[in-house]
Structure 1
Amino acid sequence: MGKLWLAALLFMAVACGETPSSSASPEQPTGVPASSDIPVSSSGGATPSPSFVTPVGHTINPRKVPWISATPTDDGTALDVVWWSGVEPCNMLDRVDVTETAKTVTVTLWEGHDRRQPDAVCIEIAIKKQTRVQLPSPLGGREVVDGAR
């Protein structure tokens, strides 16, 4: 827990010295209110490593969350999905829905507020998160689609 807070403070200190870019990068979500924009470094700063999370289920008010990448494992039986989120307990991965067709695999991430801490107040900072999603059948040549977009 202490390492997470240290990382969050370091991230905030670095982010405070940067000016948000007006152009969206491939890893910056679109359609997010200006107060939640993720700062993009014009100096080409390092992208933070994602925090690995697993679905907790039964969150309060789960909502769809867009992801930024879905990379298949070597054997194609799973996807490593990465997205921008907020801090826990306000932004917890509730579940991941997977819908398959012959041509596509649609992955939908759902986040909500931790039911055990319904009155918690969280700071607004961006956290890069990752989860591994097991596929019902190997990906093959099918396209991966974001169910939140």
Structure 2
Amino acid sequence: MGKLWLVALVFMAVACGETPSSSASPGQPVGVPANSGGATPSPSTVTPVGNTINPRKVPWISAKPTDDGTALNVVWWSGVEPCNVLDRVEVAETADTVTVTLWEGHDRRQPDAMCIEIAIQKQTRVRLPAPLGDRKVVDGAR
């Protein structure tokens, strides 16, 4: 019986131990494997649905212009649907800047849904009223 107890204890210690492939580095976004060399998976493409519950501003991590400068591909970290859906994108332009504000909320069609807490990288294409040119792109959520 004593040997069985010792074997069970060893299995528990091994099962609970942290392996290099499952640990996250400090400052690394959740959901990115630590051994991925910093590479992130391709973002999920989403479009605004509008009329969500409790919409809030969401900071984005990049906004890259298309080759012709008439749109931006905006990327951000989010959660799973239906708890985190893109409600709308607001664009405010001046001669020097283009401010892009993303709004996310809970899908109104599933108000009682519960979602797991996991980070997902998302992207959306934002059409600009005028080509970007030399203007700076600013995050309206920051």
Unaligned runs of 5+ in 1: 1-16, 29-36
Pairs within 5 Å for 1:11-26: 17-22=21-26, 24=27
Question: Does 2:77 correspond to 1:84?
Answer: yes
Provide the residue aligned with 1:14 in structure 2.
none
Q: Does 1:133 align with 2:126?
A: yes
CA distance in 2, matches of 1:83, 1:97: 15
Equivalent residues of 1:19, 1:39 under 8 A apart: no
Q: Is the 8 A contact 1:85 1:126 kept in 2?
A: yes
Cα root mean square deviation, aligned = 1.8
What are the equivalent positions in structure 2 for 1:109-124 lying under 5 Å apart? 109-124=102-117
Q: Residue type matched to 1:18 in 2?
A: S
TM-score of the superposed pair, with normalisation by structure 2: 0.80
Q: Which runs of 5+ in 2 are unaligned?
A: 1-20
Identical-residue share of aligned pairs (%): 77
Q: How does the TM-score come out when normalised to structure 1?
A: 0.77
Q: What is the aligned residue count?
A: 123
Deviations 1:61-103 (A, max 9, x none): 0000010100000100000000010100000000000001111
The separation in 1 between residues aligned to 2:101 and 2:76, in whole angstroms, is: 11
Cα distance in 1 for residues equivalent to 2:47 and 2:91: 15
Corresponding residue for 2:68? 75
**How far 1:113 sits from its partner (Å)?**
0.1
Q: Once superposed, which parts of structure 1, at least 4 consecutive aligned residues long, lie more than 6 Å away?
A: none
Q: Which entry has the higher C-alpha Rg, 1 or 2?
A: 2
From 137, 142, 145, the equivalent of 2:135 is 142
